[in-house]
Amino acid sequence: MYKLIKNTETNELGNVILRTTDNIYIPKHISNTDYQEYLEWVAEGNTPEPADE
């Protein structure tokens, strides 16, 4: 459902998460309601797919 994304320049995790159901990139910003839903999803014990290496 969600996948972590790397910034390929820094090879570190970027400030976005990919929602794989609709290919929407969600910013890690608390006022974004989609990010709030992601945090709730994680709090329920779910784990996002790891970023591509």
Partner 1 sequence: MSTIKVNNIQNANGTSAIAIDSSGVATFSKTLVPSSSMMYRNLIINGAMQVAQRATIVSGQGLGGYITVDRWSTSYVNPSAVWTHSQDTDVPSGQGFGYSFKMQCTTASAVGTNERLMVGQRFEGQMLQHLKKGTANAESLTLSFWVKSNKTGTYIANLYDTDNTRQISKAYTISSADTWEKKIITFAGDTTGTLDNDNNQSFILFFGLAVGTFETSGTLQTSWGSAVGTDRFVGQVNLGDAVNNYINITGIQLEVGDAATPFEHRPYDAELARCQRYYVIHNSNAVGDRLANGQGDSTSVVNFIVPVPTILRTYPVCGFNNLVCRNGVTNVTISSLGGINYSTTSNFVNVYFNTVSSVQGAGYMLRATDADGYIEFGAEL
Residues in region 24-53 near partner 1 by CB under 8 A: 24-27, 29, 31-34, 52
| Shortest separation between residue 3's beta carbon and partner 1, angstroms | 9
Residues 6 or more apart in contact with residue 20 via CB below 8 angstroms: 1, 2, 3, 49
**Cβ-based nearer residue to partner 1, 25 or 40:** 25
- Residue with token string 């910003």: 29
Which three-class secondary structure state does DSSP give residue 28?
coil
| Shortest separation between residue 43's beta carbon and partner 1, angstroms | 18
Tokens of 34: 């989609």
The reply to whether 9 sits near partner 1 by the rule CB under 8 A is: yes
